[in-house]
């Protein structure tokens, strides 16, 4: 176990935003919370998932909803702490630690905010190794672990608990409806996980990975080197496209942010066009109507100069971007085939093949192929 310095958290905000692949919400407001908490004397410790006892209980936290709403309702660390307290009361046991549902974006900072208030360590792991839009797209869902209870908290004093559902997909559907009524954003504490479950099914050391990516980017900036090249090296990624954003169509619907972004090529990509469809996260990229990347591998849209990631809620016209693809963590890739079967069963055909993906894209984005220029874009 080690204490996180504020500089580690600054780097985490950069790296988590990249691993978010456009989703998870901007980490900036969470970072501001952590700066204030550290100035007030709070500290957070990071612990290895391998140090958990099998019988320990771990709180799994995240913000749920459309990332765009996070730009309007400012983050407050007390909200996620309250969600953990409610879940602990329901459990009737003390939590040993807090863990992120997903390392991507602002959700990579959420467990730190709760831990600072509650005096708990943060487990160096999550259940995605990135960010995904739906609850059934996690390693614990692949394992078919129990999906309930789930706590949702709203700062107006609304406290909701989903006490039982038959499947992870039903947990996603029911909790998403509650989230929409809360304004399409809610602080959540998912079904508690035991230390044994985290050790077997968690994606390990993702917080450390995110900090490492952020440190490489910040160091490249200090040295006036190419931060995108540093990200590609650290994440073993591939540069797909460089260009300028010429169109963005997005809409908040059913508790998600859905749409597409269009990038016209620059430099060696001049004369080509890249289109990326998203549902909270970047999902599929087409170059000149030919698919070149899709989930579950990471599609990251980066500022060409600074290496800062763009979220689906922050991308805008005129931005000079570099689009890169990166592989999953080895531990996550090992479960990809099982995850693909789960996603197919639930009707979310991501990470299988582009042909299989298209029915889902038709439903969410209104086109069987790439979005048109004139279109809106085991249980325990």
Measured in degrees and rounded to the nearest 5, phi and psi for residue 183 equal 105, 20
What pLDDT score does 11 carry?
97
pLDDT surpassing 50 at residue 380: no
| Helix 28-39 × helix 6-19 angle, to 10° | 170
Partners of 59 in beta bridges: 98
Coil vs helix vs strand at 256: strand
The answer to which of 250-254, 290-294, 303-307, 330-334 has the lowest mean pLDDT is 330-334
> What is the mean predicted confidence (pLDDT) over 1-15?
96
Residue in 224, 310, 218, 205 with CA at minimum distance from that of residue 263 = 310
The answer to which of 108-117, 162-171, 231-240, 260-269 has the lowest mean pLDDT is 231-240
The Cα–Cα gap between 309 and 299 comes to 11
Q: What is the mean pLDDT of the chain?
A: 86
pLDDT surpassing 60 at residue 151: yes
If one compares 360 and 330, the residue with the highest pLDDT of the two is 330
What pLDDT score does 97 carry?
98
What pLDDT score does 341 carry?
41
The Cα–Cα gap between 186 and 182 comes to 7
pLDDT surpassing 60 at residue 20: yes
Residue 151, token pair as written in the block: 């706590």
> What is the mean predicted confidence (pLDDT) over 344-361?
33
pLDDT surpassing 90 at residue 296: no
User: pLDDT above 90 covers what percent of the chain?
Assistant: 71
291 burial via Cβ count (<10 Å: 0-12, 13-18, 19+): middle
Residue 161, token pair as written in the block: 């608990």
For tokens 């890739």, the residue is 333
3-state secondary structure 36-49: HHHHCCCCCEEECH
């Amino acid at each position: 176990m080690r204490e996180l310095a504020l500089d580690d958290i600054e780097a985490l905000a950069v790296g988590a935003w990249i691993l978010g692949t456009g989703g998870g919400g901007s980490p900036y407001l969470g970072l501001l919370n952590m700066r204030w908490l550290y100035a007030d004397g709070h500290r957070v410790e990071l612990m290895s998932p391998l140090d958990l006892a099998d019988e320990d209980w771990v709180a799994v936290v995240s913000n749920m909803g459309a990332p765009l709403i996070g730009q309007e309702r400012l983050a407050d660390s007390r909200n996620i702490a309250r969600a953990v307290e409610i879940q602990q009361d329901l459990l009737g046991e003390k939590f040993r630690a807090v863990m992120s549902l997903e390392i991507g974006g602002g959700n990579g900072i959420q467990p730190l905010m709760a831990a600072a208030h509650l005096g708990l360590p943060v487990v160096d792991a999550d259940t995605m190794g990135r960010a995904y839009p739906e609850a059934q797209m996690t390693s614990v869902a692949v394992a078919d672990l129990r999906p309930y209870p789930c706590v949702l908290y709203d700062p107006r004093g609304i406290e909701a608990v989903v006490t039982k559902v038959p499947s992870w997909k039903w947990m996603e559907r029911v909790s998403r409806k509650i989230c929409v009524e809360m304004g399409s954003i809610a602080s959540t504490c998912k079904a508690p996980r035991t230390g044994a479950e985290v050790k077997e099914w968690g994606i390990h050391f993702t917080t450390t990975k995110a900090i490492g990516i952020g440190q490489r980017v910040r160091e490249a900036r200090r040295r006036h080197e190419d931060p995108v090249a540093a990200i590609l090296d650290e994440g073993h990624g591939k540069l797909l496209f460089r260009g300028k954003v010429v169109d963005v169509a997005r809409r908040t619907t059913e508790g998600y942010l859905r749409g597409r972004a269009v990038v016209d090529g620059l430099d060696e990509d001049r004369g080509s066009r890249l289109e990326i469809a998203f549902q909270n996260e970047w999902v599929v990229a087409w170059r000149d109507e030919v698919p070149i990347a899709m989930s579950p591998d990471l599609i990251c849209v980066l500022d060409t100069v600074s290496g800062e990631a763009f979220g689906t809620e922050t991308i805008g016209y005129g931005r000079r971007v570099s689009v890169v693809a990166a592989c999953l963590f080895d531990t996550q890739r090992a479960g990809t085939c099982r995850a693909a079967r789960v996603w197919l069963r639930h009707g979310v055909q991501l990470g299988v093949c582009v042909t299989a993906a298209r029915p889902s894209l038709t439903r969410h984005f209104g086109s069987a192929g790439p979005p048109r220029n004139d279109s809106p874009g085991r249980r325990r």
